[in-house]
A and B are shown apart, each in its own frame.
Chain A
C-alpha cells in the first residue's frame, strides 16, 4: 500500500494500570476496521482469548470457528452461540500480538464477520467470528475470556480502512 492511501489510525489505548476491558466508541466512517493488539494480559501465565462485543450486545448472538497449533498438533473447533466473538489471544507473562479485521462494519443489512489472528508463545491461531446482527457497528469492546485484565503497557489500536 503506497503512502497516501488508507489505513488511518482512529484511536489507540495504552493501558496505564490493569483494566478488564477496552472500549472504542468512535469508529469513524470507513469500510473496514482493523484492530491491532500487543502486550500481556490474562489471569495466569497461560493464554486466554481476547473477546469482542459490538454495540454493547451481551446476548448469545456470536459464534466463532478457529484453527490453532501449539507446536505439536493442530486443532479446529467451533464456539457458540456465545456472548462475544473469540478473537485475538494474549498471554499472561509474554508479549503477544493479535490482529482482527472487521469487514463492512457499518452496513445495516448483513451479519458482521471478524477474521482474527492470535500469536502467543503457546499458540498460533486463526479465527473467524460472526455477530448475528444487521446493525451497524458503532462500538467495539475488548475483554478477556477468563475475566482477567489487560496489563500495564498493553496497547490496542483501531485503524480504519476505506474502500476506493
Chain B
C-alpha cells in the first residue's frame, strides 16, 4: 500500500509579518488533514490563535484542558478553536491539529495539541494544552485560516499542511 502523510503546502512568514496565514484550494483527495504550526505574535499580551475553516467565523466550540504550573490542571471552553499564547512576544506557540474526514458532509471534529515556552525574558515558563474542537458545519473544508486575535504573526513563523489518506 502507498505511503501517505504527504505535504500539501507550507507557509513561512516573511520579514514584514502577516496578519493571517491561510491555506486555500485544499484538494479533497485525502481523508484527513494534519496542520503543524510554530508561530509567535508581536503583541505583548495573551493572543488566541483562531483556527478557521472556509473563512467561516461562526459555529465553533472547543474544550481545552491545560497545565502550566507543574502541579495542577484546568479546563476552559470557547466559542472558537483557539490555542493561545501569553505575552506573545516572549513565547512561540507550537501546535498540531488533526482534522479527520475534512471533505465529508458531517460536522468537523478536530484534535489539537499545543505547547509553548517563554524565552528567557519571560521566565522560561511552559504550558501544554489538549483541545477538542468542533466546527458545526457540514461543508467540506477547502481552506484553513490561522488568525490571531490581535497583532501580527512574526517573521519565521511556519505552518505545514499534510494530507493523510486512509486504506
Contact = CB atoms under 8 A, between A and B. Distances in A.
Contact of B162 (A1, A12, A39, A71): A1
A122 interface: yes
Contact of A121 (B3, B76, B108, B134): B134
Contacts of B27: none
Contacts of B31: 157
Nearest to B135: A95
Interface in B42-99: 61-67, 72-77, 98
Contacts of A153: 106
A163 interface: no
Interface string A1-27: 111111111111000000000000000
Contacts of B147: none
Interface in B117-167: 130-134, 162, 164-167
B109 interface: yes
B100 A68 contact: no
Nearest to A10: B167
A2 B7 contact: yes
B98 A97 contact: yes
Interface residues of B, number: 42
Given A5-B5, A121-B134, A76 B73 contact: yes
Interface residues of A, number: 46
Given A72-B77, A124-B64, A94 B109 contact: yes
Nearest to A88: B111
Contacts of A122: 63
A67 B67 CA distance: 11
Interface in A100-143: 117-126
Of A37, A73, A97, most B-chain CB atoms within 10 Å: A97
A38 interface: yes
Given A69-B65, A96-B109, A97-B100, A12 B166 contact: yes
Contacts of B165: 9
Contacts of B98: 36, 97, 99
A74 interface: yes
A31 interface: no
A155 interface: yes
10 contacts: A6-B3, A9-B2, A67-B65, A69-B76, A73-B74, A97-B111, A122-B63, A123-B132, A124-B131, A158-B167
Nearest 8 pairs of A and B residues by beta carbon? A69-B65, A69-B75, A71-B77, A119-B132, A74-B73, A7-B5, A38-B100, A9-B167
